[in-house]
């Protein structure tokens, strides 16, 4: 979600709540003459408030997973969860999620995460990581969509990319078939947009046909086949241009459309690869954010139960 | 002939030093023709009005006789009007040179030997080349992208490469009132187009052949020169004119080898009533388009849902011992009988709709299976004949007795009419045949008649400034005009809506007096109609309130038709596909694809736009209608039989078909003519999620990127955004002001 001026109300309320919590914390500090620990009443209140907000923030996952009147929402106990627009839930997720971290900090008297590898330590570090990834995702969601719109003019549907890549490879194979040994033997006509249908042998010499075919087999085809291409030569537009300039050298004019088309296919493949990368940058963080958030919820519950048990 | 004033005066002028007299208003060409002076023409044909003067082959040198001043440039004789004292020269060296250059230029972009040797003689451009004694070895323009051919129509071949853009075909088509052919493209891409630039066969062209007659070159020619007569025989139910000629030929050979029938030759055609009045010239242009088939009892002529591309005429034999016997039955709830001399499946064929019922042969007979172009020729030639009367009577009986499958529209209101009154009406009704897009009644006009829709579709239109909003589509069996004629329903006897045809339609018109007589005689019918009319008025009120638009044509986006389109702000959209998930979850099937046209940083997703004039709203089963509450175009799955007609109609591909096992039916499959009714498919499209305050695609978007907009609202949003940007751009920041000071 893009964080813009429409978030002002949420930001103001969050700041107000944070200020109120901070004042309460300071007052308690004055009253107890030391920082209120997690086991004191104010500490417990902060802990529960923080955990409540964390749990609310986590519920966005369920709200997004089943966005409409799915069967899950038919249950009376869960029907309340389907109330309100997802956009409102998302705003709450961002701002109240951030506020929960402040509450938990008040609960734990600042950045005191306890002894290493204890439940509290794991919990606090996980929670910190959840908040940091969350903030990072928020920033990325503000910046990346516009960047993607500008840099990917031929954007495809993400789930279709695999199919489009296969189609590109098929197209390239078909385009270069006349240059293969079998194609030359059978005099398969060269078909390219703008080019007249001619057989390879009538247009290029054996050596030129070999050059094109070998470059295709050695560089282009493996690149088109690769799912995540990191081959420097064709995955960068500058080096790819060099490859095709070299390929064009000495080639007759009538065969140029074939090379142009091949270059276009590589360009499209490069765009698709870039789209995949950007998609992962944008959404990959959720693979860390969501499981860690689930861990935090579980560990938070364990921590609360254990603490109350030992407190009593 | 050009338009000549009724009391035109005579003028005197000189052509090639010959004093001649002409009528004012005549063109120089007409005056010259009347005096046997030859002026070569190409784009002009005296039989086709109006002359346009685009080719300039008929250029002449004109001098004003009074002042002695020559015109600044040569004039086209076909459009230049005569004037008193004009001096016209048609054969000066300069004029000849200009004509030669024009012919050379036209030939440079024209295939030599226009189409084939046989046609070379007929090509007027090549004839001019010969007449002007210009060497045939001419330089040709480089063709980077050759213009293509359109072999889709069964009887006409279009070769765009040979087109010289003379507009003769456009004018000939307009003269026949079809208006199918028009100019399209610019520069080198300029050419003629059928309909919206689609292949000729899929356009609404009826292949009447007027364009073939008009074309001066080999751009539009009869297809039989090329494909041979035998290859033109239609295939039943599987289309007749697709580019897959290999399978077409195979199918044809199979049919002939199987003894299904034989080609009916032109000379034989004139023996049948149906073709008796058709011009031999037109029949000549469409050889092999009629197939004579013997039929056996129990044979199925066509099945419900099959795309109708041929119609059937039951042959009437003078020696038939049972002339009144039913030959073919349409298997509706109350089977409709067809006897000798009647057409079966004609309106479905005319409109390329799927058949609405299965036709079974109940008595051995012979039929003429004909293509759409032949059907049109036959229908037009019989327009005032006996067939018309018979057809009208049968249609009326069918309507009044409510022998329709569409129970909802034809609720049996008129089933209580007495046979005597039906007989009385039979002599009083008028059969109204309408072409595509014809206005039948205009909102605000005095209500003079009541109409039954016999065939085709009628859209009920609510006009607004700058456009029209279609509130309903009336299918065959429906009626309109009763609300305005019933006493006590409306204050004035004026039509509340404009009604227009969608494609070809046949209507039965009952005059206001007869309608009133019917109401007086049959009070039960009146009661029922009043009840229905009140419901309609209620709906009308809702539409009047909601369908108020201010839409400006925006050539940049071309979205002015959209009433509610799903717009995704790509600057906010994280491509999470929550909208797609929500749609699939709400409807079981996903009805939106996050892809489509991009305008600025907005994506117009592929989901129904609920157009003002929805081209998809042509359903014989009345499954697709506009919801008066949300104004959404919705498909009722209960009524949908899965014929795919609506999906074919949607220009944006926003209607999808799912078969009974929930698999998406490939568009190419049903476009190719498979009977999707057999697959028990259902058409689905966005219904704006009834029951929810906001459509779920919008509701589910966590990033506030998805929104539903009407075209006007979307344009306003874009304008506001632009203004804001400009303001921001013009507004100087604190620092720039500080530095400036």
For residue B241, count other CB atoms closer than 10 A to its CB: 25
Sign of the alpha-carbon dihedral angle for A165, A171, A172, A177: positive
Quick: pLDDT tens for A254-267. 778 888 888 999 99
How many other β-carbons are positioned within 10 Å of the β-carbon of residue B668? 8
Helices A286-311 & A41-65 angle (0-180, nearest 10): 150
Instruction: Tell me if B575 and A2 make a contact (CB, 8 A cut-off).
Output: no
Closest chain A residue to B579, measured at CA: A67
A128, A47 contact by CB (below 8 A): no
Mutate to test the interface with B, among A82, A143, A149, A272 (most CBs of B within 10 A): A149
Looking at residue A72, its pLDDT comes to: 55
Say yes or no for a CB contact (<8 Å) between B575 and A66.
Answer: no
Q: What is the pLDDT of residue A111?
A: 67
Mean pLDDT of A285-299: 89
A85 vs B573: CB contact, 8 Å cut-off?
A: no
Q: In chain B, count H helices and then E strands.
A: 23, 35
The verdict on a CB contact (< 8 Å) between A70 and B585 is yes
Token pair of B612 as six digits: 């003002």
Q: Which residues of A touch B687 (CB under 8 A)?
A: none
Report yes or no: A180 at the B interface, CB cutoff 8 Å: no
Peptide bond before residue B3 is cis, with ω within 30 degrees of 0: no
Q: Which residues does chain B have within 8 Å of residue A1's beta carbon, measured at their own beta carbons?
A: 572, 702-704
A68 contacts B696? CB cut-off 8 A: yes
Q: Touching check for A158 and chain B: CB below 8 Å?
A: yes
Q: Tell me if residue B80 falls in helix, strand or coil.
A: coil
Query: DSSP code of B565?
Result: E
| Measured CA distances, A283 to A137, B180, B365, B602, B627 (Å) | 8, 51, 69, 21, 39
- What percentage of residues in chain A have a pLDDT greater than 70? 85
Chain A residues lying within 8 Å of B696, measured CB to CB: 67-68
Rounded average pLDDT over A152-169: 86
Residues 62-81 on A with a CB inside 8 Å of B are 64, 66-70
pLDDT at A284: 87
- Name residues of chain B where pLDDT drops below 50: 1-7, 116-118, 225-250, 384, 403-411
Residue B599 touches partner A, C-beta closer than 8 Å: no
Percentage of chain B modeled with pLDDT above 70: 81
How many residues belong to chain B? 741
Q: What is the CA radius of gyration of chain B?
A: 30
Most confident of A173-187, A188-202, B144-158: A173-187
Does the pLDDT of residue A211 top 60, yes or no? yes
How far apart are the CA of B430 and the nearest CA of chain A, in angstroms?
53
How many alpha carbons lie under 13 Å from residue A103 in its C-beta half-sphere?
23
Q: Which of B327, B303, B306 is nearest to B316 (CA)?
A: B327
Using CA coordinates, name the residue in chain B closest to A141. Answer: B574
| Secondary structure string (H, E, C) spanning B154-173 | CCEEEEHHHCCCCCHHHHHH
N-terminal to C-terminal alpha carbon distance within chain B: 77
d(CA B573, CA B571): 6
Of A1, A85, A194, the CB nearest to B699: A85
- With beta carbons under 8 A apart, name residues in chain A contacting B704: 1-2, 6, 87
Each residue's pLDDT tens digit, A121-141: 888 889 999 999 898 888 888
DSSP for A284-309, written as a single string? TTHHHHHHHHHHHHHHHHHHHHHHHH
User: Count of CB atoms within 10 A of residue B321's CB?
Assistant: 6
Reply yes or no: is the peptide bond before residue B50 cis, omega within 30 of 0: yes
SS3 B323: coil
d(CA B457, CA B628): 19
CB A189 within 8 A of CB A197: yes
Contact B62, B80 (CB under 8 A): yes
Cα(B479)–Cα(B400) distance, integer angstroms: 11
A197 in contact with B, Cβ within 8 Å: no
Mutate to test the interface with B, among A5, A82, A87 (most CBs of B within 10 A): A87
Query: CB distance B704–A2 less than 8 Å?
Result: yes
Q: Measured between CB atoms, which of B574, B578, B593 is closest to A145?
A: B574
Write the CB contacts of A58 (distance below 8 Å, at least 6 apart in sequence).
A293, A294, A297
Name which of B226, B230, B247, B229 is nearest B238 in CA terms. B247
Q: Extract the tokens encoding B648.
A: 């074919």
Q: In the beta sheet, which residues pair with residue B509?
A: B430, B451
β-pairing, B624-626 vs B343-344, is: unpaired
For B572, the closest of A60, A145, A279 (CB atoms) is A145
Average the pLDDT over each of A14-28, A167-181, B241-255, B382-396 and give the range with the smallest value: B241-255
Query: So what's the pLDDT on residue B249?
Result: 39
Which segment of A19-23, A227-231, B217-221 scores lowest on mean pLDDT? Answer: A227-231
Structural contact between residues B470 and B614, judged by C-beta atoms closer than 8 angstroms: yes
Contact B601 A141 (CB under 8 A): no
DSSP code at position B9 = P
Q: State the DSSP code for B479.
A: E
CB pairs under 8 A between A and B: 77
Give the helix, strand, coil percentages of chain A, each rounded to 5.
Answer: 80, 0, 20
Residue A149 forms contact with B (CB below 8 Å): yes
With 0-12 CB in 10 A as exposed, 13-18 as middle and 19+ as buried, what is B132? middle
Region A103-121 average pLDDT = 80
Give the whole-angstrom CA distance, residue A87 versus residue A1.
8
Residue A190's DSSP bridge partners are A198
Asked if B690 is an interface residue toward chain A (Cβ–Cβ < 8 A), one would say: no
**Band of residue A20 on the pLDDT scale cut at 50, 70, 90:** very high
Query: What angle do helix axes A286-311 and A119-151 make, rounded to 10 degrees?
Result: 160
Q: Is B153 on the interface with A (CB under 8 A)?
A: no
DSSP B442: -
Taking only residues 87 to 146 of chain A, the set having a beta carbon closer than 8 angstroms to any beta carbon of chain B reads 87, 89-90, 141, 144-146
Contact call for B700 and A68, based on CB within 8 A: yes
Give φ, ψ of A200 to 5 degrees: -55, -45
**Residue B531 to residues B88, B408, B410, Cα–Cα distance (Å):** 73, 15, 14
Phi, psi of B329 (to 5 degrees): -120, 135
Which structure tokens are listed for A118? Answer: 């204890």
Quote the CA–CA distance of B172 and B176 in Å, as a whole number.
Answer: 6
- Give the pLDDT band of residue A298 (cuts 50, 70, 90): very high
């Amino acid at each position: 979600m893009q964080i813009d001026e429409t978030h002002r109300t949420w930001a103001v309320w969050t700041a107000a709540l944070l200020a109120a919590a901070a004042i309460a914390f300071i007052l308690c500090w004055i009253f107890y003459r030391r920082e209120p620990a997690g086991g004191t009443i104010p500490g417990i209140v902060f802990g529960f408030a923080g955990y409540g907000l964390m749990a609310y923030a986590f519920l966005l996952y369920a709200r997004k997973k089943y966005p409409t009147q799915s069967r899950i929402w038919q249950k009376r106990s869960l029907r309340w969860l389907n109330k309100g627009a997802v956009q409102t839930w998302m705003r709450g997720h961002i701002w109240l999620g951030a506020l929960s971290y402040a509450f938990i900090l008040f609960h734990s008297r600042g950045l005191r995460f306890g002894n290493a590898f204890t439940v509290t330590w794991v919990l606090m570090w996980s929670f910190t990581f959840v908040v940091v990834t969350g903030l990072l995702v928020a920033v990325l969601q503000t910046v990346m969509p516009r960047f993607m719109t500008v840099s990917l003019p031929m954007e495809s549907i993400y789930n279709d990319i695999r199919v489009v890549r296969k189609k590109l490879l098929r197209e390239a194979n078909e385009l270069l078939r006349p240059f293969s040994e079998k194609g030359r033997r059978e005099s398969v006509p060269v078909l390219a947009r703008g080019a007249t249908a001619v057989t390879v042998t009538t247009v290029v010499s054996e050596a030129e046909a070999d050059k094109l075919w070998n470059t295709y087999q050695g560089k282009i085809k493996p690149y088109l086949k690769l799912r995540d291409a990191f081959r420097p030569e064709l995955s960068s537009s500058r080096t790819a241009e060099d490859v095709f300039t070299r390929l064009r050298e000495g080639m007759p004019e009538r065969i140029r459309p074939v090379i142009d088309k091949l270059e276009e296919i590589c360009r499209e493949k490069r765009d698709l690869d870039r789209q995949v990368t950007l998609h992962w940058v944008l959404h990959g963080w959720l693979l860390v954010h969501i499981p860690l958030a689930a861990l935090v919820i579980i560990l938070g519950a364990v921590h609360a139960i254990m603490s109350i048990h030992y407190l009593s | 002939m050009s338009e000549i004033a009724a009391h035109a005066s005579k003028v005197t002028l000189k052509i090639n030093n010959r004093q001649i007299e002409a009528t004012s208003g005549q063109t120089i060409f007409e005056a010259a023709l009347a005096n046997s002076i030859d002026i070569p023409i190409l784009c002009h044909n005296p039989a086709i009005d109006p002359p346009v003067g685009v080719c300039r082959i008929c250029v002449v040198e004109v001098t004003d006789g009074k002042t002695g001043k020559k015109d600044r440039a040569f004039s086209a004789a076909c459009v230049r009007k005569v004037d008193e004292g004009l001096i016209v020269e048609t054969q000066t060296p300069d004029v000849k040179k200009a004509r030669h250059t024009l012919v050379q230029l036209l030939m440079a972009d024209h295939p030599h030997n226009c189409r084939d040797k046989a046609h070379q003689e007929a090509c007027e451009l090549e004839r001019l080349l010969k007449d002007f004694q210009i060497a045939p070895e001419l330089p040709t323009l480089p063709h980077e992208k050759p213009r293509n051919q359109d072999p889709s129509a069964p009887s006409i071949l279009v070769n765009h490469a040979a087109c010289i853009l003379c507009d003769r075909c456009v004018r000939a088509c307009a003269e026949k009132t079809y208006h199918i052919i028009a100019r399209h493209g610019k520069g080198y891409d300029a050419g003629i187009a059928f309909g919206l630039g689609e292949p000729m066969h899929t356009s609404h062209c009826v292949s009447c052949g007027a364009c073939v007659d008009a074309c001066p070159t080999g751009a539009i020619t009869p297809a039989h020169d090329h494909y041979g007569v035998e290859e033109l025989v239609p295939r039943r139910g599987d289309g007749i004119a697709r580019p897959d000629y290999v399978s077409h030929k195979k199918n044809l050979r199979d049919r002939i080898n199987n003894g299904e029938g034989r080609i009916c030759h032109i000379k034989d055609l004139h023996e049948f009533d149906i073709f008796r009045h058709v011009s031999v010239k037109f029949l000549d242009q469409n050889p092999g388009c009629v197939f004579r088939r013997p039929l056996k009892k129990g044979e199925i002529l066509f099945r419900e849902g099959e795309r109708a591309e041929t119609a059937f005429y039951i042959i009437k034999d003078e020696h038939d011992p049972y002339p009144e016997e039913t030959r073919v039955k349409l298997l509706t709830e109350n089977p409709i009988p067809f006897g000798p001399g009647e057409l079966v499946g004609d309106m479905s064929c005319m409109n390329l709709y799927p058949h609405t019922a299965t036709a079974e042969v109940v008595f051995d007979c012979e039929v003429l299976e004909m293509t759409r172009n032949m059907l049109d020729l036959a229908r037009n030639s019989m327009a005032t004949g006996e067939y018309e009367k018979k057809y009208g009577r049968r249609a009326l009986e069918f309507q009044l007795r409510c022998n329709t499958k569409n129970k909802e529209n034809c609720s049996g209101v008129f089933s209580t009419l007495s046979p005597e009154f039906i007989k009385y009406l039979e002599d009083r009704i008028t059969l109204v045949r309408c072409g595509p897009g014809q206005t039948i009644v205009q909102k605000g006009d005095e209500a003079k008649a009541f109409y039954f829709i016999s065939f085709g579709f009628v859209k009920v239109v609510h006009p607004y400034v700058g456009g029209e909003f279609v509130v309903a589509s009336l299918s065959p069996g429906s009626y309109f005009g009763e609300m305005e004629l019933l006493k006590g329903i409306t204050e004035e006897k004026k039509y509340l809506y404009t009604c227009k045809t969608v494609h070809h339609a046949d209507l039965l018109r009952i005059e206001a007096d007869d309608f009133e007589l019917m109401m007086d005689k049959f009070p039960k019918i009146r009661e029922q109609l009043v009840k229905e009319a009140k419901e309609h008025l209620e709906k009308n009120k809702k539409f009047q309130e909601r369908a108020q638009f201010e839409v400006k044509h925006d050539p940049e986006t071309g979205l002015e038709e959209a009433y509610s389109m799903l717009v995704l702000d790509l600057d906010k959209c994280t491509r999470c596909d929550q909208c797609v998930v929500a749609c699939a979850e709400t409807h079981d099937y996903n009805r939106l694809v996050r892809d489509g046209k991009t305008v600025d940083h907005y994506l117009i997703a592929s989901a129904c736009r609920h157009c003002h004039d929805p081209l998809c709203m042509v359903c014989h089963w009345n499954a697709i209608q506009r919801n008066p509450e949300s104004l959404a175009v919705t498909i009722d799955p209960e009524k949908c039989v899965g014929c795919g007609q609506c999906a074919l109609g949607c220009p944006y591909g926003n209607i999808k078909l799912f078969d009974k096992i929930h698999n998406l039916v490939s568009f190419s499959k049903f476009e190719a003519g498979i009977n999707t009714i057999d697959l028990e498919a259902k058409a689905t499209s966005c219904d704006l999620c009834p029951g929810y305050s906001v459509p779920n695609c919008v509701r589910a978007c966590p990033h506030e990127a998805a929104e539903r907009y009407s075209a006007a609202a979307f344009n306003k949003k874009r304008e506001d955004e632009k203004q804001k940007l400009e303001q921001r751009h013009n507004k100087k920041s604190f620092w720039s002001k500080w530095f400036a000071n």
